[in-house]
Amino acid sequence: MGSAVAAAACALGHRVAVIDHAATPAHAPPQAIVVAGVDLSDPAAADAAMHKAHDALGGLDALLNIAGGFAWEKVENGGSETWAALHRLNVQTALNASRAAIPYLKASPAGRIVNVGSAAALKAGVGMGAYAASKAGVHALTQALAEELKEAGVTVNAVLPSIIDTPQNRADMPKADPAKWVSPHDLAAVILFLASEEARAITGALIPVTGKV
C-alpha cells in the first residue's frame, strides 16, 4: 500500500520521502527519498526519521500514516500479545509519526495528516477483535488530532478501507473475488485527495473506501 501511494504521489509531481521499517526497501519509487530501517513504534526513531525527511525535502506539507499490521485471532483462544502487537503497529506508529511531524506541518501553509483506519473497526467480525480495536484507536486519534490542530490550519483525516487487493490478501483468500476489493491505486487516490489543497475544508473525517464488498 505504501509503495502504491508513494508512486502515485511521485506521478503527480510531489516530492516524497518514504519512511520504511525495512533496511533496504524494495518498492520505493526511484525518485523518492528513502529513510530506511525505522521502527515508528519507537518515539525517538520516529522523531529522527521525521527530522531526516524534513531536512531532505526542505519542509513537510503532508504526513501519510500507512504503516500497520493485521492478525486474525479469536478473543476466546487468543492471547494478549496480539492485542499489544496490533496496538503498537497500528496506533503507536501513527501517534509517534504524527507527534514528530506536527511542528513541521504547523510551519507549512497547508499541513495535512492522513491516517489509514479500517471499515472493520466500524463493525468487527469473528477473529477481528484485536485488529478492529487497534484501528478504532486510529479513528479516535484522527478525530482528536483534528480538533487539536484546527487553529493551526492542519487537517487530519482517515480513510477506512475494506479488503485491499494486495498479493498477500490474494494468497490468504484464494477463493475470494478480488474484483470486489479496493485496489491500492484507488485507495491512494483518496489518500492523496485528502492531502491536497482541494480538501482544505475537510478535517476529522473518517471516509469509508470499501469497493464492492
- Mean pLDDT, residues 123-152 taken together: 97
Lowest mean pLDDT among 140-144, 145-149, 153-157, 181-185: 181-185
Domain boundaries, the chain: 2-209
User: Looking at 19-28, 48-57, 183-192, which range is the least confident one?
Assistant: 19-28
Predicted local confidence at residue 213, as pLDDT? 63
Q: Which of 104, 131, 150, 180 is catalytic?
A: 131
Reply yes or no on whether the pLDDT at 167 is more than 70. Answer: yes
CB of 63 closer than 8 Å to CB of 122: no
Burial of residue 200 (CB within 10 Å: 0-12, 13-18, 19+) is exposed
Answer whether 127's CB lies under 8 Å from 86's CB: no
52 part of the active site: no
Catalytic-labelled residue, pool 74, 106, 123, 135: 135
How far is Cα 115 from Cα 157, in angstroms, rounded to an integer?
6
Output b/e per residue, 163-184; b: 16+ Cβ within 10 A.
Answer: bbbbeeeeeeeeeeebeebbeb
Nearest to 62 by CA among 19, 121, 122: 19
Cell readout for 164 is 485491499
C-alpha cell at 32: 523518492
What was the pLDDT predicted at 27?
A: 86
Written as one string, the DSSP assignment of 137-169 is HHHHHHHHHHHHHGGGT-EEEEEEESSB--HHH
Q: Is 104 a catalytic residue?
A: no
Distances in Å between the Cα of 190 and the Cα atoms of 9, 27, 84, 159 are 11, 21, 29, 8
Which has more confidence, 134 or 172?
134
Q: Say yes or no to pLDDT of 9 above 90.
A: yes
pLDDT band at 118 (very low <50, low <70, confident <90, very high): very high
Give the architecture (CATH level 2) of 2-209: 3-Layer(aba) Sandwich (3.40)
Q: What angle do CA 101, 102, 108 make, to 5 degrees?
A: 95
